[in-house]
Amino acid sequence: MKGLLAFLLRATTPADRVAVVAAWAAVSALAVSAWSAPAGGEAVVLVGDHEVRRLNLARDQRVTVQGRIGPAELQVKDGAVRFVHSPCSSKRCIRMGWQHRRGAGAACVPNEVMVRVTGGGSGSGWDAVNY
Amino acid sequence: MPSTTEPAAGRQPPALAALRRDAHLAWLAAFAVALHMLEAALPPIVPGIKPGLANVVSVAALCLWGWRTAAVVSLLRVLVAAILLGTLLSPAFWLSLGGALAALAALGAGAALPGRGLGPVGYSVVAALAHIGGQLVVAYALFVQHAGLFVLAPVLGLGAAATGTFNGLAAYLLVREWDTENPEANVRPGA
Amino acid sequence: MNRAEPRRPAAILLVLLAAALAGGCERAPEIHREQAFVLGTLVEITAADVSGDTFHRAAGAAFRELRGLHDALTPVDPGSRLSAFNRRGHDRWVDLEGPLAPLLPRALSVQRASGNAFNPHLGRLVGLWGFRQPPFPDAPPPAAAVDALLAAGAGDHALALRRRGGLQARLTRPGAALDLGGIAKGYALDRAAAVLRGRGVGDALINAGGDLRALGRRGGRPWRVGIRNPRDKDDVLAVVALRPGEAIVTSGDYERFFMHDGVRYHHLLDPASGRPARAARQATVLGPRATEADAWSTALFVAGPDGLARLGAEQPGLVIDAGGRAHANGAMRARLEWQSDEVAAP
């Protein structure tokens, strides 16, 4: 251990040590801030109470998930997500339209399918919407 | 361009010094290409994170012979390796080039620091971070215009810091090894 | 430059870097979230600054409590306590069991204070209009049927309580039937909050289909809730920072409704007319207890902007009237951070 330390001291100039510490500090700070608030829009799809899919909102796509009464189809486009097909009778989930704000989501209660935008998305100044 | 290492005792004629330098350059470039090919042949331990062994040579070249030598070695390595691997002008090539240019810019800035400045380890770390920064910018500008790309930045950043540190230590050893041939080399690791 | 000097700038740099990192970071709490489809809607619990284990056990218990409440209070299931009471409670005193015992006195209290704008026994009218369960009908019931129920006392003061050992209740008019849809969600929020608190979760936000109750705070700041524009899902009218333990409940004409001949028929019935209330599109109430906030938001919706006076000075209320204009009392105006460009601030 002492030998290793001596080697490291020999191998680096004072400026080196500053550079190395600064580099690691910067990179660690970046990692910490990114992993407590991930960048890039993402949505999570839940059936019942567990997560079944994670959707990258940066990639246009259509996915189908199995809900309690049937398959539900979701569409991702331009950083937003919505229901396009649902086996429920009221289709209220589809009428909820595009979701893109962080924390926003749409849910089909009879089919027990929910999609919510996590991380990224346009930031909002609130934790939930009352309606 | 005069070498940064002036012959000490026993003056050599300029032409011979230049020849010696060019031989070094060619040999350095070859060494770098070899390391690059070796790395390309091995499977990656973590996808997206490569040790960047060839950079050890560039940094050592910088410390021993100055920035321009390091630049020539780096760019030659990128070009030759791409030709040999068949990836010339492919996306991988542009990423490699972008990273190399960014790293060289950072090294140049580092070399301009006053005083004793950076040694192999500092240069290596700085160059490694600049390298992945340059690659992310190239990737964004040319291939993936989604900001989602930068989600990778933290992981790549940590990888770069790690490989930069270890490569730096390797570069130090390499310099020390080569330094015996060049007593005037402009690196003086901290005592 | 001699040997010693490079160390000083290096040290200064390090200190500055450390200070910058420390100062620049906002205190980001550890956030956990769970959701379940219960109470006929989506219920989400978000908690801060608590361990994953503690949270998941507490959330599980809260959802179980909510399922129990749903089973007891749903008018749809003939086996629920509510349905059983409605069968037996006409002209006979019935012992109140389960959640009915704590809930009915509070419901009656708001009914009186609101001048019957909130009415807990419109069950037969709600059934007649078809809003119990989707799919909803697409046409209103015959006017004669509605008037008949009104004449039978559906919209009067028809619930009596007394204490004989335990609490007993009785429906005093044949047209009346218990329907606690205007207060049950609030009560559920309060019960869920109590369960969470009892199991070590002190900072959480419970969202039951858009009505919310806060516990504690979210890390270094209060829980913040946006109030939605009743005619534009993407527009948030205002943001409110909830005090620790505060609830926010909204009644709106867009939750259960159908359109017929260009007219919107929704589930919030006016006890005086037996028909959907027409004075407002949306009413929002804040309060320390979600039970009362829920009942008052229903009352405020029925009463419209004039109902704000009944709320009292302490209870914040916001009404979006039938024309889309916003009205609020002083207590609410002090709390609103108005955001919307589409609706003018009250």
- The answer to whether C42 contacts chain A (CB < 8 Å) is yes
pLDDT of residue C9: 45
C1/B114 Cβ within 8 A: yes
Of residues C54 and C16, which shows the higher confidence score?
Answer: C54
* CATH number of the CATH domain containing A79: 2.60.320.10
Q: Which residues contact A37 (CB under 8 A, 6 or more apart)?
A: A119, C28
- The answer to whether C12 contacts chain A (CB < 8 Å) is no
- Has residue A101 been placed in a domain? yes
Together in a domain, A49 and A79: yes
Tell me the nearest-neighbour CA distance from A3 into chain C, angstroms.
22
In a 13 Å sphere around the CA of B61, the CA atoms on its Cβ side amount to 30
Do C311 and C293 meet the contact criterion of CB atoms below 8 Å apart? no
Confidence band of B146 (pLDDT split at 50, 70, 90): low
Together in a domain, A48 and A74: yes
Give the structural domain span for A21: 2-34
A20/B122 Cβ within 8 A: yes
Confidence band of C277 (pLDDT split at 50, 70, 90): very high
- The answer to whether C92 contacts chain A (CB < 8 Å) is no
B2 pLDDT more than 80? no
Angle at C176 between CA C173 and CA C182, to 5 degrees: 140
- The answer to whether C6 contacts chain A (CB < 8 Å) is yes
Average pLDDT, chain B: 80
Lowest mean pLDDT among B21-30, B103-112, B144-153, C45-54: B144-153
Tell me the nearest-neighbour CA distance from B142 into chain A, angstroms.
17
Interface test with A, best of C33, C42, C240 (most A CBs within 10 A): C42
Confidence band of C183 (pLDDT split at 50, 70, 90): very high
ipTM of the complex: 0.84
Q: Which chain A residues touch C226 with a CB distance below 8 Å?
A: 124-126, 128-130
Q: List, in sequence order, every residue forming a beta bridge with A44; answer none if it has no partner.
A: A54, A116
Together in a domain, A9 and A47: no
Together in a domain, A46 and A101: yes
Average pLDDT over residues C96-103: 95
Burial class of residue A68 in the structure, from the number of CB atoms within 10 Å of its CB (0-12 exposed, 13-18 middle, 19+ buried): middle
Confidence band of C5 (pLDDT split at 50, 70, 90): very low
Average pLDDT over residues C305-322: 93
Angle between helix C7-24 and A14-36 (nearest 10): 10
Q: Which two tokens stand for residue A9?
A: 């001291």
Least CB–CB distance from A129: residue in C37, C63, C226: C226
Compute, in degrees rounded to 10, the torsion defined by CA atoms C23, C25, C27, C30.
Answer: -150
At C204-245, the pLDDT tens digits run 999 999 999 999 998 888 999 999 999 988 889 999 999 999
C314 pLDDT more than 80? yes
Q: List, in sequence order, every residue forming a beta bridge with A51; answer none if it has no partner.
A: A46
Chains touching B (3+ CB pairs < 8 Å): A, C
Q: List, in sequence order, every residue forming a beta bridge with C167; answer none if it has no partner.
A: C163
Together in a domain, A48 and A103: yes
Q: Cβ–Cβ contacts within 10 Å for residue B71, how many?
A: 20
pLDDT of residue B143: 77
Taking only residues 258 to 287 of chain C, the set having a beta carbon closer than 8 angstroms to any beta carbon of chain A reads 284
B32 pLDDT more than 60? yes
Of residues C14 and C261, which shows the higher confidence score?
Answer: C261
Together in a domain, A46 and A22: no
Together in a domain, A79 and A105: yes
pLDDT of residue B3: 46
Lowest mean pLDDT among B127-136, C57-66, C322-331: B127-136
Measured between CA atoms, the residue of chain A closest to residue C257 is: A90
Residues in chain A: 131
At C162-174, the pLDDT tens digits run 999 999 999 999 9
Of residues C30 and B47, which shows the higher confidence score?
Answer: C30
Together in a domain, A68 and A14: no
C46/A127 Cβ within 8 A: yes
C37/A112 Cβ within 8 A: yes
Q: Which chain A residues touch B116 with a CB distance below 8 Å?
A: 13-15
Of residues A81 and B6, which shows the higher confidence score?
Answer: A81
C136/A18 Cβ within 8 A: no
A to C CB pairs, distance under 8 Å:
101
Chain A contacts to B (CB-CB under 8 A):
8-20, 23-24, 26-28, 30-31, 34-35, 38-41, 56-59, 120
C46/A21 Cβ within 8 A: no
Q: Model-level pTM? A: 0.63
Nearest Cα residue to C201 out of C65, C300, C53: C53
Tell me the nearest-neighbour CA distance from A52 into chain C, angstroms.
13
Angle at C230 between CA C226 and CA C234, to 5 degrees: 60
Interface test with C, best of B113, B116, B118, B188 (most C CBs within 10 A): B116
- Has residue A131 been placed in a domain? no
Q: Cβ–Cβ contacts within 10 Å for residue C319, how many?
A: 30
Across B68-72, B183-187, C197-201, the highest mean pLDDT is recorded for: C197-201
B148/A58 Cβ within 8 A: yes
- Has residue A123 been placed in a domain? no
Tell me the nearest-neighbour CA distance from B84 into chain A, angstroms.
33
pLDDT of residue B6: 46
The whole-angstrom separation of Cα A33 and Cα C330 is: 40
Tell me the nearest-neighbour CA distance from C114 into chain A, angstroms.
22
A96/C226 Cβ within 8 A: no
* Number of structural domains chain A divides into: 2
At B48-79, the pLDDT tens digits run 667 788 889 999 989 888 888 899 999 999 99
- Has residue A129 been placed in a domain? no
**Domains, chain B:** 15-183 (1.10.1760.20)
Taking only residues 196 to 215 of chain C, the set having a beta carbon closer than 8 angstroms to any beta carbon of chain A reads 205, 207, 210-212
- Has residue A56 been placed in a domain? yes
Average pLDDT over residues C43-52: 92
pLDDT of residue C24: 38
Chains touching A (3+ CB pairs < 8 Å): B, C
Q: Which chain B residues touch A80 with a CB distance below 8 Å?
A: none
At B118-136, the pLDDT tens digits run 889 999 999 999 998 998 8
Least CB–CB distance from A23: residue in B147, B148, B164: B164
- Has residue A124 been placed in a domain? no
A12/B119 Cβ within 8 A: yes
Together in a domain, A18 and A71: no
pLDDT of residue B48: 60
The whole-angstrom separation of Cα B102 and Cα B110 is: 12
A125 torsion bin: left (phi>0), alpha (psi -120 to 50), beta (else) = alpha
C26 pLDDT more than 90? no
C69 pLDDT more than 70? yes
Together in a domain, A87 and A113: yes
The whole-angstrom separation of Cα A70 and Cα A84 is: 14
Tell me the nearest-neighbour CA distance from A88 into chain B, angstroms.
33
Together in a domain, A46 and A91: yes
Handedness of CA B62, B68, B70, B71 (dihedral sign): positive
A to B CB pairs, distance under 8 Å:
105
Together in a domain, A58 and A112: yes
C41/A131 Cβ within 8 A: no
At A33-80, the pLDDT tens digits run 776 654 457 899 999 888 899 888 878 899 999 999 999 999 998 888
